[in-house]
Structure 1
């Protein structure tokens, strides 16, 4: 996912990590090889804060960092580096499976160091182990944040509109109608950035599919359920209904993430259905004093039936061929510490994945923690998908759906075919 502004160009990833001298501490002085760690991350802000704190706590250590803002480019370039033996010691990954830089996909190719013996690994819950372990059950990643998808609101713009946050699906449609009548966009949407296409469906299927049927993902893997034969159909139909009822800005396929966040931050749109960390980008465009809040995004006629998609958002792993494995393990230990967890979560607009007493939840994070405590949360769907093809089919097909070149059954048929590809 995307954070902040560009710090180092994408092309920097095409060269060996050690040759890129943009370090979290800003130092370019030579250091002993056992004191140098190389790191890559998709998104600058939170990683930069963690690197600075780690260097401060370890005098003499230099962390050479590479930041890339575009997830697709990051995934492609890191994969290339891992295959060629030029990848950094430590890098950000995605939990579970579902894309080429996800934990299970990388570990199947032998690209990750076994971290099962680390002290923090023994304390992981079953849910956390499920998305940070390889197919053999060995922990290969440290969970850093918990992310969520919901209705995120520009509080200032919403107050000015005089409208209330919808708590049921009928209220969503009424909200869209009333906002449009006031000349303001109800929900900003930027489908030109392909990864954004999945967010509304994930929010809707939490309440329509994965919340009511907790075993759906397993039944799908067992061949007993499909996208096309499930409430995924209703979810995508509701997505199209939102488009047709004016819930989004004009021409979403021509609007990218940055423009979406600009529209939202400036109050030209009242809300977004998004990952909560997107607020960090919206703040760049927001007038001073603007605040943001979150509510679960409804999909039914009852607020009591609303679930929130919640998942480990960011994980880090160690290159199986790391040049400095000892320092890499030490950085993993820092990320797992209460200090590292609170620091990264705060900087990324998320909640910590591990225990961190100093972390203080705000109006964005508290509803997520409440949903988890009440048993009203689900995992992101793609973390249970067997390969990266399913997510890619989903992303591109939603863009076509909004263009009107395919219909809902076609989208789901494509996803089912991709799901079955490795069965």
Structure 2
């Protein structure tokens, strides 16, 4: 596998549902002050697997955990705890910038411990370092997974439909019409969960904007480009066309992530345009034996013009005021190890961010590696944006776009205004 040096931005996306849970794992009789680690994460499945492996490798250690399944709730919760001095020792955060729980934002506020002295930090590529460092250049987070956004397929439902995976934009529209004629949803969409709103635009702009022009965001920062004056307009117009031509289920704004994954897992929808880690949720609803695969989502008339949005997905950091900093660093070292990387990537349906010889790519992950190898991958755009306001405006505006209360030029104008105010 080639080094993932193409990644200079990061995903702000993760599994989302709607609940918070608190639990603890550890050995009987454990729990002395030096042996208790507190940890929080958004999405508990992969984190639980890593915690259990860490605990087994460190007998006597107790890990007290808090899991919040909704990203927005998690971000608000941990931000509040960091401000009040009650945050856990270790917590999941987002790479790069773009939201209030991202590396650069937390690092700027002095809320993350300096991890630059760790052995794994010294081996980071320049691009991985860019999304795990604070504004002063100190590494403050460990990259754990690589994620992607593509067309994810329920293989058995697709086979039963007799339809083929589209490889060009005209084929997407034909696929939607043919699926609808067969009485099945082409792509499940759950815009009630605000973070899902950005996935189709990111998939489309990979081929329309950022693949052809990797320097687009920098040109925006230099005042030489804008959302409204770019192929972002084409991307959002295609998003609306998909809606109007029946590519999605009815009333996407009334459908949440969990219902979206239920439809997809049970085969009521043939596919989703989503982060690959969402498959972990779809499997909870899928009949035994259901398999899933992924293809890059096309946006042009040529299959050769398709790019795949790929980026660092999950990162973890240490609270600058951790009660048990040494144990926290030990856990971070485990996440950076080949064992920790392979375990977390496998459990989350992602690829490892660092070296993990034991990792084996499947039908979901191999296209990611192939796209990177072929130079057909782009970055998630939000983490290169100058602040969280741009993404927040994007999420809200897409919901309004689907409600019909704003048009495409209006969405782009709002995003340009947010970008300008954050520069």
Q: CA deviation at 1:222?
A: 1.5
Shift of 1:4: 8.1
* Contact 1:2–1:69 (CA under 8 A) maintained in structure 2: no
Alignment of 1:399 onto 2:403: no
Q: Contact conserved, 2:17 with 2:70, CA < 8 A, in 1?
A: no
Q: Gaps spanning 5+ residues in structure 2: where?
A: 1-12
Residues 24 and 415 from structure 1, CA distance in 2 versus in 1: closer, same or farther, beyond 3 angstroms? farther
Query: Which runs of structure 2 are paired with 1:350-389 in the superposition (5 Å)?
Result: 350-389=350-389
Question: 1:155 — aligned with what?
Answer: 155
- In structure 2, the residue matched to 1:270 is 270
C-alpha RMSD of the superposition: 1.2
Secondary structure at 1:23 match in 2: strand
Q: Give, in whole Å, the separation in 1 of the partners of 2:220 and 2:322.
A: 37
C-alpha distance in structure 1 between counterparts of 2:135 and 2:25, whole Å:
33
Supply the distance in 2 between the matched residues of 1:239 and 1:29 (Cα, whole angstroms): 56
CA contact (8 A) 1:146 1:351 kept: yes
What are the Cα deviations for residues 298-321 of structure 1, in whole angstroms up to 9, with x where unaligned?
Answer: 000011110000000000000011
Q: Deviations over 1:48-107 (max 9, x none)?
A: 000000010011111111111000000000000000000000000011011110000101
The residue number in structure 1 matching 2:3 is none
- Retained in 2: the 8 A contact 1:4–1:45? no
Q: Distance in 2 between matches of 1:350 and 1:301?
A: 29
Q: CA deviation at 1:28?
A: 7.3
Deviations along 1:264-298, one digit per CA (max 9) or x if unpaired, are 00000000000000000000110100000000000
Deviation at 1:253, TM superposition (A): 0.3
SS of 1:82's equivalent in the other structure is helix
The offset of 1:3, in angstroms, is 3.8
Per-residue CA shift, 1:183-223, capped at 9, x if unaligned? 00000000000000000000000000000001111111122
| TM-score normalised by structure 2 residue count | 0.95
Q: Does 1:306 align with 2:306?
A: yes
Establish whether residue 232 from structure 1 lines up as the match of residue 249 from structure 2. Answer: no
Residue pair 1:3, 1:45 contacting (<8 A) in 2 also: no
Work out whether residues 5 and 44 of structure 1, in 8 Å CA contact, stay in contact via their aligned partners in 2: no
Asked whether the 8 Å contact 1:334–1:340 carries over to 2, the reply is: yes
Q: In terms of mean alpha carbon deviation, does 120-129 or 154-163 score higher?
A: 120-129
How does 1:340-359 map onto structure 2 within 5 Å? Answer: 340-359=340-359
> What SS does the corresponding residue of 1:394 show, helix, strand or coil?
helix
Tell me the residue number matched to 1:143: 143
Q: Does the alignment pair 1:104 with 2:99?
A: no
Residue 422 of structure 1: how far off its partner (Å): 2.6
Kept after mapping to 2: 8 A contact 1:5/1:69? yes
Give 1:23's aligned residue: 24
Q: Contact (CA 8 Å) 1:94, 1:101: kept in 2 or not?
A: yes
Residue of structure 1 in register with 2:295 after alignment: 295
* Conserved 8 A contact 1:90-1:319: yes
Q: Is the 8 A contact 2:40 2:92 kept in 1?
A: yes
TM-score (norm 1): 0.95
Query: In the alignment, does 2:418 pair up with 1:422?
Result: no
Counterpart of 1:186? 186
Structure 1 match to 2:166:
166
1:67-106 matched pairs, under 5 angstroms: 67-106=67-106
Question: How many pairs were matched up?
Answer: 411
Q: Which runs of 5+ in 1 are unaligned?
A: 13-19
The separation in 2 between residues aligned to 1:84 and 1:421, in whole angstroms, is 28
CA shift, 1:249, in A, is 0.3
Report how far residue 384 of structure 1 moved: 0.2
2:8 — aligned with what? none
Q: Does structure 1 retain, via aligned residues, the 8 Å contact 2:185–2:249?
A: yes
Corresponding residue for 1:61?
61
Aligned to 2:208: 208
Question: SS of 2:24's equivalent?
Answer: coil
**Structure-2 separation of matches of 1:367 and 1:5:** 27
Q: Distance in 1 between matches of 2:349 and 2:290?
A: 15
